[in-house]
């Protein structure tokens, strides 16, 4: 049989919430009756959200797919400044929990019809009276649409305690508004066939409630007499990596610095080899016999921009020096500062060069002194004594590359197993249409 709605009804309901979040730049969202977290799964990609919470009375159903909400490896490898925390609770919407206060949006998608009418009263008091969010989206079946649903007799789901007409939903919603200080607009998803929309309405009816009086009325509610009740059980929580976290910022910065420092070093070495060959061909003296000078100015950086600041290198090795013997290699930036490394052969890349020619290093650190500060205590970075340059071994490129590879593999950020989240249709009848 052809599906009755395209996209499927459960997806249209979730899309309705996503559109609301996008329009209103909602930061804190709680989904009541979140079931297998399929709405939360979609919402986590909307990074204006900073706190995403799910609640369901059935802990087992939440646990089934909750690990799909974990950050994946790209969230760790390419973190942004966005902040996201996810929390999942087992608990009933008929009970208060102080952790659910102060949200911008509460969603209750196809939930209230699973409650007895007495519990709907408690739900109203908990959600509108106690949690008191800026907005509430409530969706519930519209019973006037039922005669159009093929093969349906009775309620749409065996667990439904009632299914309301538009008038019944409206009467409950207006009472809630009056009692708790909200206004409501009625809409829905799942269009009726042409010509019947007005008579039967939407398949899922939706009330969008907005708290009157904006944020002030909210702060009044959270005054001294706020009850600190914690009746829900925390099942899962995770913070997404964010560049606001200094440890994460340092990790990203260090790998960026090492990447560009290696790149600059390789480029310099390639050019140096080419120059030596040319000199050998021309019958000139090779390696370090005399003071030489390499300009990196006006070259395309790997970052894609032109390097305007010349970077110079002096090689003052002893003529005929053997591989592995102590050698001094200098880089010097346009300000005339000069660095050297006196271990086995190594190259010194000034932080000023990295900072000025690598836009990401520049953006992440903000200033040269911040950059130095971030790199100072990091075990992966070898800085010159005065902290003005990164030191890299000349010989060990291959070994370092292998090491880098290991770092990625052993970083501990194994991609969380992402189960597929085919949102299962909630209603019995939806499975058959
Ligand atoms: N909102 C989900 C699924 C709705 S099905 C979706 O959009 O797909 C209704 C859900 O409400 C079920 O997962 C059920 O376990 C949960 N539920 C029923 N009574 C509840 C209560 N008193 N408190 C919290 N959740 C409840």
* Percentage of the chain modeled with pLDDT above 70: 72
Higher-confidence residue of 401 and 4: namely 4
pTM of the model: 0.77
Query: Would you state the pLDDT for residue 419?
Result: 31
Listed in sequence order, the residues at least 6 apart from 198 whose beta carbon sits closer than 8 Å to its beta carbon are none
Q: Across the strands, what pairs with 389?
A: 350
Read off the pLDDT band of 428 (50, 70, 90): low
Other beta carbons less than 10 A from residue 147's beta carbon: 8
Q: Which residues line ligand 1 (CB under 6 A)?
A: 10, 33, 35, 38-39, 55-58, 61, 92-94, 109-111, 114-115, 426
Ligand 1: residue whose CA is nearest its atom 23:
92
What is the distance in A from the centroid of ligand 1 to the CA of 32? Answer: 7
pLDDT in tens, 136-179: 999 999 999 999 999 999 999 999 999 999 999 999 999 999 99
Query: Would you state the pLDDT for residue 288?
Result: 31
pLDDT in tens, 336-374: 444 444 445 788 999 999 998 899 999 999 999 999 999
Query: Would you state the pLDDT for residue 381?
Result: 95
List Cα–Cα distances, 196 to 167, 192, 199, 387, in angstroms: 17, 6, 5, 75
Give the atom of ligand 1 at the shortest distance from the alpha carbon of 107: 1
**Residue 159 near residue 235, CB atoms below 8 Å:** no
What is the distance in A from the centroid of ligand 1 to the CA of 58? Answer: 8
Ligand 1: residue whose CA is nearest its atom 16:
33
pLDDT in tens, 79-125: 999 999 999 999 999 999 999 999 999 999 999 999 999 999 999 99
Ligand 1: residue whose CA is nearest its atom 6:
109
Read off the pLDDT band of 394 (50, 70, 90): confident
Whether residue 298 has pLDDT greater than 60? no
Query: Would you state the pLDDT for residue 357?
Result: 86
What is the distance in A from the centroid of ligand 1 to the CA of 278? Answer: 76
Query: Would you state the pLDDT for residue 304?
Result: 41
* Percentage of the chain modeled with pLDDT above 90: 64
Whether residue 201 has pLDDT greater than 60? yes
pLDDT in tens, 206-226: 999 999 986 555 545 555 455
Greatest alpha-carbon span in the chain: 98
Structure letter (DSSP) for residue 10: H
What is the distance in A from the centroid of ligand 1 to the CA of 36? Answer: 9
Question: For 371-402, b where at least 16 C-beta lie within 10 A, e where not — what string?
Answer: bbebbeeeeebbbbeeebbbbbbbeeeeeeee
What is the distance in A from the centroid of ligand 1 to the CA of 221? Answer: 27
Q: What is the DSSP string of 29-77?
A: EEEET-TTTHHHHHHTT-TT-SEEEEEES-HHHHHHHGGGGS--HHHHH
Ligand 1: residue whose CA is nearest its atom 10:
33
Whether residue 313 has pLDDT greater than 70? no
């Amino acid at each position: 049989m052809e599906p009755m709605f395209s996209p499927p009804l459960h997806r249209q309901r979730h899309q309705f919430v996503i559109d609301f979040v996008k329009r209103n730049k909602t930061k804190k969202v709680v989904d009541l009756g979140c079931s297998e977290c399929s709405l939360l799964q979609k919402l986590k990609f909307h990074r204006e959200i900073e706190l995403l919470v799910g609640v369901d009375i059935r802990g087992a159903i939440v646990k089934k797919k909750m690990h799909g909400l974990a950050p994946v490896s790209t969230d760790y490898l390419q973190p942004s400044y966005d902040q996201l925390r996810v929390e999942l609770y087992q608990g009933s919407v008929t009970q208060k929990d102080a952790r659910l206060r102060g949200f911008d949006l509460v969603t209750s998608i196809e939930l209230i019809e699973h409650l007895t009418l007495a519990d709907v009263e408690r739900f109203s008091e908990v959600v509108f009276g106690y949690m008191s969010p800026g907005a509430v989206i409530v969706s519930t079946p519209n019973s006037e649409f039922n005669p159009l649903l093929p093969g349906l007799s009775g309620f749409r789901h065996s667990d439904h305690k009632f299914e309301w007409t538009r008038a019944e939903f409206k009467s409950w919603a207006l009472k809630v508004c009056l009692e708790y200080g909200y206004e409501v607009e009625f809409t829905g998803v799942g269009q009726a066939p042409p010509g019947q929309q007005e008579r039967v309405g939407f398949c899922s009816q939706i009330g969008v409630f907005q708290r009157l009086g904006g944020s002030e009325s909210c702060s009044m509610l959270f005054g001294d007499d706020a009850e600190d009740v914690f009746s829900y059980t925390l099942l899962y929580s995770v913070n997404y990596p964010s560049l606001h976290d200094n440890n994460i910022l340092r990790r990203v910065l260090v790998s960026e610095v090492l990447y560009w420092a290696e790149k600059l070093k390789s480029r310099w070495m390639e050019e140096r080899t080419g120059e030596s060959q040319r000199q050998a061909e021309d019958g000139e003296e090779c390696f370090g016999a005399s003071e030489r000078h390499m300009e990196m100015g006006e070259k395309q950086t790997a970052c894609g921009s032109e390097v305007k600041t010349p970077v110079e290198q002096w090689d003052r090795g002893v003529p005929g020096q053997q591989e592995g013997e102590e050698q001094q290699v200098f880089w010097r930036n346009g300000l005339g500062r000069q660095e050297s490394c006196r271990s086995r052969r190594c190259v010194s890349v000034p932080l000023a060069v990295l900072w000025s020619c690598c836009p990401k290093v520049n953006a992440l650190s903000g200033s040269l002194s911040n950059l130095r500060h971030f790199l100072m205590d990091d075990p992966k970075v070898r800085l010159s004594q005065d902290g003005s340059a990164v030191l890299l071994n000349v010989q060990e490129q291959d070994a370092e590359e292998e090491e880098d590879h290991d770092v990625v593999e052993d970083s501990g950020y194994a991609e969380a197993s992402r189960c597929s989240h085919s949102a299962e249709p909630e209603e019995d009848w939806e499975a058959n249409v």
